Amino acid sequence: MSIADNGSARPLYARVREQLIERIRSGAWKPGQLIPNEFEIAAEFGVSQGTARKAIEALASERLVVRRQGRGTFVVEHTPAHVMFRFFNLYDAHREQIIPDSGHAAAVVAKATPEERAELRLGRNDKVIRIARVRTRDGRPFITETSTLPEPLFPGIAELPEIPNTLYDLFQKSYGILVMRTDDRLSAVVADVASAAALGTAVGTPLLRIDRVAFALDDRVVEWRVSYCHLGDGHYLARTKLSDDTDRR
């Protein structure tokens, strides 16, 4: 049964690409798994090897798969180190990436506030999971962080004996949800009494506020997170390239 049979206007390689993405999204192909080679995919969809190649290369450029010459093509795997490296953009005064620790994380389930519904694009009676923690560095607190997750997507997280340091690898491994993109909205604030106490600093200290929304493979919003960072001589690194996509949804 060939995918080429219908008269759709979309290019063949694009339709093959979507079918392959769907297999990753649905979990038919697991993280780290070897996928069929170019000729097998070509035969399955009734296209030439070159067309299958173009579809696979598109996935590779999106980092959904990793190609290894001589070995094969593998579904991307979010490891804790990988997640930190890719999605944690804080650097110290020496321009080294900061690897933070997670303090005790408290998780609760609650009805979403109007603001949470707006950020997470939820319906009226949806529930959310809130995870609050203070992150440390060399044992010293430097970030207060509150994550809010749509409860239906992540049942049972609140009951875990311990919340991991990085959520995104848990999202992929336990819930099959792959974080593809984060939008961080950054602003400067001064520490209020509560923040100052939590971070061990003075009221009025400047803090970097990071308001993050994370998107999954299908563009669903899977996390809203607000962090207040006491960075000292550190900073947040944002790289902008001419080659970046231009659409700001």
Give the orientation angle of helix 12-26 with respect to helix 38-45, to 10 degrees: 110
Residue ranges with strand state E in 138-205: 140-150, 179-190
48-107: which residues touch DNA (CB under 7 A)?
A: 48-51, 53-54, 57, 67-73
Least distance to a second copy from the beta carbon of 168, Å?
10
Identify which of residues 68 and 239 has a Cβ nearer to DNA in the complex. 68
18-77: which residues touch a second copy (CB under 8 A)?
A: 61-64, 76
Intra-chain end-to-end CA distance of the chain, in Å:
37
Identify which of residues 116 and 119 has a Cβ nearer to a second copy in the complex. 119
Instruction: State the binding partner of 14 from DNA, a second copy, none, CB within 5 to 8 A by kind.
Output: DNA
Identify which of residues 60 and 84 has a Cβ nearer to DNA in the complex. 60
Write out the H or E segment, with its range, that includes residue 73: strand 72-75
Asked whether position 89 contacts a second copy by CB under 8 A, the answer is yes
Least distance to a second copy from the beta carbon of 228, Å?
9
The answer to whether 153 and 127 are in contact (CB under 8 A) is no
* The residue type at 208: L
Distance CA 211, CA 214 (A): 10
Handedness of CA 146, 147, 152, 157 (dihedral sign): negative
Distance CA 218, CA 133 (A): 28
Among 185, 194, 197, 220, binds a second copy (CB under 8 A): 185
- Per-residue binder mask for DNA (CB under 7 A), 4-33, x = binder: x----x-xxxx-------------------
By the 10 Å C-beta count (0-12 exposed, 13-18 middle, 19+ buried), 92 is classed as middle
Which tokens is 212 given?
């993050």
Instruction: State the binding partner of 224 from DNA, a second copy, none, CB within 5 to 8 A by kind.
Output: none
Identify which of residues 11 and 206 has a Cβ nearer to DNA in the complex. 11
Identify which of residues 15 and 230 has a Cβ nearer to a second copy in the complex. 230
Question: Which range of residues in 14-22, 132-140, 151-159, 183-191 is near a second copy by CB under 8 A?
Answer: 183-191
The answer to whether 205 and 196 are in contact (CB under 8 A) is yes
Closest Cα partner for 60 from 26, 13, 97? 13
Instruction: State the binding partner of 183 from a second copy, DNA, none, CB within 5 to 8 A by kind.
Output: a second copy
The answer to whether 100 and 137 are in contact (CB under 8 A) is yes
Give the residues lining the site for DNA (CB under 7 A): 4, 9, 11-14, 35, 37-39, 46-51, 53-54, 57, 67-73
Give the residues lining the site for a second copy (CB under 8 A): 61-64, 76, 85-87, 89, 91, 97, 178-190, 204, 206-209, 211, 229, 231, 234-244, 246, 248
